[in-house]
Amino acid sequence: MNRNEELFNRAKAIIPGGVNSPVRAFGSVGGVPRFIKKAQGAFVWDAADKQYIDYVGSWGPAIVGHAHPEVLEAVREAAVDGLSFGAPTEVEIVIAEEIAKILPSVEQLRLVSSGTEATMSAIRLARGYTGRDKIVKFEGCYHGHSDSLLVKAGSGLLTFGNPSSAGVPADFTKHTVVLPYNDTEALKEAFAGFGHEIACVIIEPIAGNMNLVKPSSEFVQTLRRITEENGSVLIYDEVMTGFRVALGGAQSLHGITPDLTTMGKVIGGGMPLAAFGGKKEIMACISPLGGVYQAGTLSGNPVAVAAGLKTLEIIQRPGFYENLTARTEQLVNGLAEAARAAGTVFTADSVGGMFGLYFAGKKPETYADMTASNIENFKRFFHGMLEEGVAFGPSAYEASFMSAAHTPELIEDTVKAARKVFAAMSV
């Protein structure tokens, strides 16, 4: 038995499914998950000492490359002074000021420990600020695992959602409306029906949890206008896209000023750190200033903040995003060309340091498009590449991530491996 299999069996005896987050179990691709024991730069190594070029990047945080020496040094320095105090610190102010400088829409913010906490808190805040209960989300967007967001569309367009997880009372999700992504007419119809009851709309402004799906300009412009007209809070969930698709996130690419923004992944540089922030008038509703309660024992943890601050410093160095974007494009163009040569139906898309691979003839615009792609081909590609020493996320519905440590040579190696895998798939 291979070491990964041994560990998976041992894990399954003590941890449900053997993992601490479901996608890691390889459930949707089959086979044995690789237990990672080390990461450095663009590489990860599994428990059997196999090396992989890694395009998961811890699902986004590893934008400067794994175990970056400067980030590690910042973490070491912070750790020596104590791991957590449960009291305010100066570095929390520094990182908050830094984030607000990068994102002009964020006038004030609060630090939390996970993206789930950030979105859950932003929604409570929007409800507290507006005094309304209803919220709108879009099909295929993931905003963490809090109750009111684990919702799938109901039977009709203007009906409320049903729980997408056992354990979520239908009573909690009856306030959540689920609309199709990129559907401007459905959005208008919902607001025409009950716009003045909607506390907020939360959106992945470039979706990354149904693979990569870009919104149309018309859709995001309409969304901003209609929420403003109805006094509803617009929440850009940039936990994935923030500091990833561009330094200023999707909002900088769209030219949109959301009322609230949620952040995570990159801002912690691999440590548990996330944030939500936006208009001062709305943020003032949070406890201890206002009546919306929100708290956290480890919020603004000094070691996590140190990793985040150093990461934010590195990504603001000249040329960082130009390089990241060029390398992402090198990869997706190379993969598309390799698929074409083998006659495999495949398209790819990217923005900044994030990309999507689709076993379909066209780029998806909705969740329905995404689910219509050839999942069997994705599985064969995924396992073929893993065998060749290249790791993508173990699901056809996940986006992939580039880091600054991926050199043009490593990308060429990846494309070479893909040529082999596509060729084997076409026989």
**Which residues are marked as active site?**
142, 237, 265
For residue 354, list its beta bridge partners.
Answer: 351, 401
With respect to ligand PLP, which residue has the nearer C-beta, 237 or 365? 237
The 8-class DSSP code of residue 22 comes to G
Instruction: Give least dist CB 20 to ligand PLP, A.
Output: 11
User: H helices of 211-301, where?
Assistant: 217-229, 249-254, 280-283
With respect to ligand PLP, which residue has the nearer C-beta, 112 or 415? 112
With respect to ligand PLP, which residue has the nearer C-beta, 264 or 356? 264
Phi, psi of 254 (to 5 degrees): -80, -20
The beta strand positions in 96-197, using DSSP E, are 108-112, 134-138, 151-152, 162-163, 176-179
d(CA 246, CA 255): 12
3-state SS class at 233: strand
Instruction: Give least dist CB 355 to ligand PLP, A.
Output: 15
CA nearest to 224, candidates 269, 255, 192, 180:
255
Instruction: Give least dist CB 204 to ligand PLP, A.
Output: 5
Instruction: Give least dist CB 417 to ligand PLP, A.
Output: 27
- Hey, what amino acid is at 406? H
Q: What share of the chain is helix, strand, coil (3-state, %, to 5)?
A: 45, 15, 40
With respect to ligand PLP, which residue has the nearer C-beta, 11 or 240? 240
**Alpha carbon of residue 180 to chain centroid:** 19
Answer whether 106's CB lies under 8 Å from 278's CB: yes
**Nearest-CB residue to ligand PLP?**
115
Answer whether 260's CB lies under 8 Å from 234's CB: yes
3-state SS class at 253: helix
Instruction: Give least dist CB 237 to ligand PLP, A.
Output: 5
With respect to ligand PLP, which residue has the nearer C-beta, 44 or 271? 271
Instruction: Give least dist CB 238 to ligand PLP, A.
Output: 7
144 in the Ramachandran plot: left (φ > 0), alpha (ψ -120 to 50) or beta? left
Q: How many CB atoms lie within 10 A of CB 289?
A: 10
CA nearest to 95, candidates 296, 294, 273, 261:
273
**Alpha carbon of residue 95 to chain centroid:** 20
Answer whether 103's CB lies under 8 Å from 262's CB: no
Instruction: Give least dist CB 119 to ligand PLP, A.
Output: 5
3-state SS class at 201: strand
With respect to ligand PLP, which residue has the nearer C-beta, 129 or 142? 142
With respect to ligand PLP, which residue has the nearer C-beta, 265 or 417? 265
Q: Which residues here bind ligand PLP, judged by CB under 6 A?
A: 114-116, 119, 142-144, 204, 208-209, 237, 239-240, 264, 274
